[in-house]
Structure formats: C-alpha cells, structure tokens
Structure 1
C-alpha cells in the first residue's frame, strides 16, 4: 500500500532525527557558493531551521524532503506526461551508460553537495572528481534533437510537472509545521551545545592568542 504524504514526511523527519546525534561541526574551509537546495528553502522555513542553523544540519533534512517531492512528481509524470517521461527515460539510460557516476548512491547528507572542496589559493588540484565525471559524460552520445513542435509540447509538460511539484511542496510544508517542536528540541539537544562550545573556544583563543607557556622573548 502506498504510504500517505504525512507518513512519508514523518518517516523522513524520524530518519533525520536518528542521524542528527552523529552531526559534528565542519572543521574544513567553508564553500564560497551557497547551496541552491537549502538557500531560502520554504521546506527549511516550515521546519523551523533558519539561517542560523549550520548548513550540514539543514541539508540532511532538505534532501530527505526533496526525495519525497521528487518521488511524487515522478509518479505523476509516469501516469500523465508521456513525452516528459520518455525524455527522462532516455536521460536515465544515458546516465547509466556513463562509466563514472560519483554523485549517485550518496547518503542524504551529501546528495547535491559539491564533489570537490574549494581549492586553496595558488594550489590548484591536479584533478577533480567533478572533472573526471565530466570526462565520463563526454564519452556518452548526446540525446537526439527534438523538433520545434516536440520542444513546445515538452515545455508544456515540464510546466505541468513544475505545478505539481509546487503543489506537493506546499502540502509538505504544511505537514512539517506539525513536526517543528521535535525538530527544535533536537536542535537544542544536539546542535546548539556544539555551536556554543565552538564559540567558547573561539572566545578563549581571542582572549589569549598566545600560549602562556611559550617564551615571549629571546
């Protein structure tokens, strides 16, 4: 039996709550480009995860919720949008033909994230994971071109799929409002203490920038 949208959202939140105790603040350099999945997300707003929440925490939930929306749109497309479904099937077959697919099979906390860290100034990478993926993609033949009529029909179906995605997204946001209390309780228990500890450590390092045990002169 197909699970209701309420059940799917509840299970996604449950899975995120089970993962959250394992979260730790990142110690590497932050990325310059913002995450398009999380920045300004109405899903995160409905869940009560504001801009003051670390991105890793946000991303783990937004990705799980996006999977629910994507699944709903995929079902709608398969039943109602044959041209778009055919195009997606061709793209899926093309993706399967790629010899290197590093972005597939990732845990929700890493889906949609950049494959490589930001390079250090003056120290470019000899190679990147994203670059190798692009090379593998270049070896796969491109999809056949579409006629002008087919492009117009496809754009219409894409618009219908977008409308359906927006409808599901609004329903999901409404459902998430009922989970805000337990989401915020988990943030208070597992995230805020770690952030407070980092701020305390930063304050101590600013107050005492030098090791008192180190000699200060010759």
Structure 2
C-alpha cells in the first residue's frame, strides 16, 4: 500500500475542508427518509458532526471516508483474495454492460443519495432515473445465416456453477474482506477523532452562520402571519 490509511484520511479531510467553503443550504424539498450511509454512522460520530449539522455536510465527509475504506479493501482483495477478486471483476463487467448508469461518475458529495426525489401525490413522474438504471440492455438479435462468417465471434458460454468447495472458499474470503474492512474503518474513525477540531472549526465558520441566517429569515417570515387574539 503506497499510502497509509491515516494519510488518505487526511487527504480527503483537506478536500472536504475546501468543499465546505463553497457549501450553500439547499432550498428544495428535503429528504423523505433517513440516509443509510449517515444515520448512526460511526464515521459521522467520530468526526463530531452527528448532531446539529446538515445532512449534506455529513454525507460529503462520510462518502469521502467510504472511498478510503473501499480503496483499501479493493487493494487487499486483489493481493490476498483471488477468488473473491475474480467474482467481483465478473460482477463489475456485468454492471458495465448496463445501458444507463446515472450514479456513475458522481462527485463523492452526491454518491449514495437517492437518484430521484420523492414525487408529490398529485404529480407522479413519467419516468425516473432509478427506473432507467434498472432497465436491462436489449438482447442482441441473431444474425441471418447469410451474414454469418466462419470468423464471427460467438457469445461466451455461461460460467459453470461453483462447487461446494469453491463456495466455502469464497465465503471464507468474504469474511476476511469484511474483517479487514472493519479494521480499516476503525483506523479511519481514530484519525477522524484527531481531525475533529478542524472539522468543527470549519462548520462553525462556514455552515453555522448560514443555518442561523435561514432560521432568522424563517422567523421574520412567520412574524407576518396573523396571530389569534
């Protein structure tokens, strides 16, 4: 591993600190359900931003730490878990064959979020990004006998099912990968605890004033509502 977990965490923290200077509160409708990446996350708790911090700010840091963990686990898998690495490569090839992948190439701040907002009860969507992503690519049409040449490529035969021994070995490698991911996650959380003063200082400087301004604006708007005598 070229860089330690701690140095990777520091790099992503620096990137997050630059991003937060450009953060602005969203004015559209909020989330309708809890984020599985952030709610109860030990990463968010270790950073000290689990309470009274906008979800978008939490999510941006959480997903950057997920990048660190995923990259470390991928490297460990490629070096030490050949069967699991092979299965993951096959899965990645199948996913790459999808016709439309709207979640691919997003900045870390937007990964893991719902692709589509919740529709209003009286205004359903004609289509959603999630529906488009779930569509399977069309099956290739068989070529006519006249167009078939001796050198034409044939579709690959389906892979044979795994034997009982291979399934047991794959299960063991998956357990090792999970254990390694847990170890990396603990190191990420420990490093975030060291970075907590810088994270909280950035929130106090760039996030809290904007939140207070929104609350003040809301309070001034409510003052115009007629009050019951």
TM above 0.5:
yes
Given that residues 38 and 59 in structure 1 are in contact (C-alpha distance below 8 angstroms), is that contact kept between their aligned partners in structure 2? Answer: yes
Paired position in structure 1 for 2:100: 100
Equivalent residues of 2:59, 2:109 under 8 A apart: yes
Contact 2:20 2:206 in 1 (8 A): yes
The CA distance in 2 between the partners of 1:189 and 1:27, in whole Å, is 20
**CA distances 1:41-93 after superposition (whole Å, capped 9, x unpaired):** 11111111113211100111111110000011111111111111111000111
The equivalent of 1:199 in structure 2 is 215
Query: Could you tell me how far 1:124 is from its partner in structure 2?
Result: 0.9
Inter-CA distance 196–119: structure 2 relative to 1 (3 Å threshold): same
Q: How far apart in 1 are the matches of 2:32 and 2:116?
A: 12
Alignment root-mean-square deviation, CA = 2.1
* Alignment match, 1:190: 206
CA change 1:137–1:118 in 2 (3 A) is farther
* Structure 1 gap segments, 5+ residues each: 211-218
1:25 Cα deviation after fit: 1.2
TM-score (norm 1): 0.89
Q: Which of 194, 197, 202 does residue 181 from structure 1 map onto?
A: 197
Q: Name whichever structure is richer in helix by fraction.
A: 1
- Name the CA distance, whole Å, in 2 between partners of 1:207 and 1:49: 31
d(CA) in 1 for partners of 2:138, 2:28: 31
Whether the aligned pair in 2 keeps the contact of 1:83 and 1:157 (CA below 8 Å) is yes
Deviation at residue 12 of structure 1 after TM alignment:
0.3
2:159 and 2:52 map into 1 onto residues whose CA distance is 43
Q: Partners of 2:70 and 2:48 in 1: how far apart?
A: 22
User: Which one of 163, 174, 192 corresponds to residue 158 of structure 1?
Assistant: 174
> Which ranges of 4 or more aligned residues in structure 1 deviate by more than 4 Å?
137-140, 142-145
- For structure 2, the residue ranges without an aligned partner over 5 or more in a row are 141-157
* Distance in 2 separating the partners of 1:147 and 1:7: 41
Distance verdict in 2 for CA 1:179–1:129, change over 3 Å? same
1:1-218 alignment, distance < 5 Å:
2-136=2-136, 145-209=161-225
Deviation at 1:204, TM superposition (A): 1.1
- The number of equivalent residue pairs is 210
Offset at 1:185?
Answer: 0.5
The Cα of 1:125 is off from its aligned counterpart by 0.4
Give me the whole-angstrom Cα distance separating, in 2, the residues matched to 1:193 and 1:165: 37
Q: Which residue of 1 aligns with 2:147?
A: none
How does the TM-score come out when normalised to structure 2? Answer: 0.85
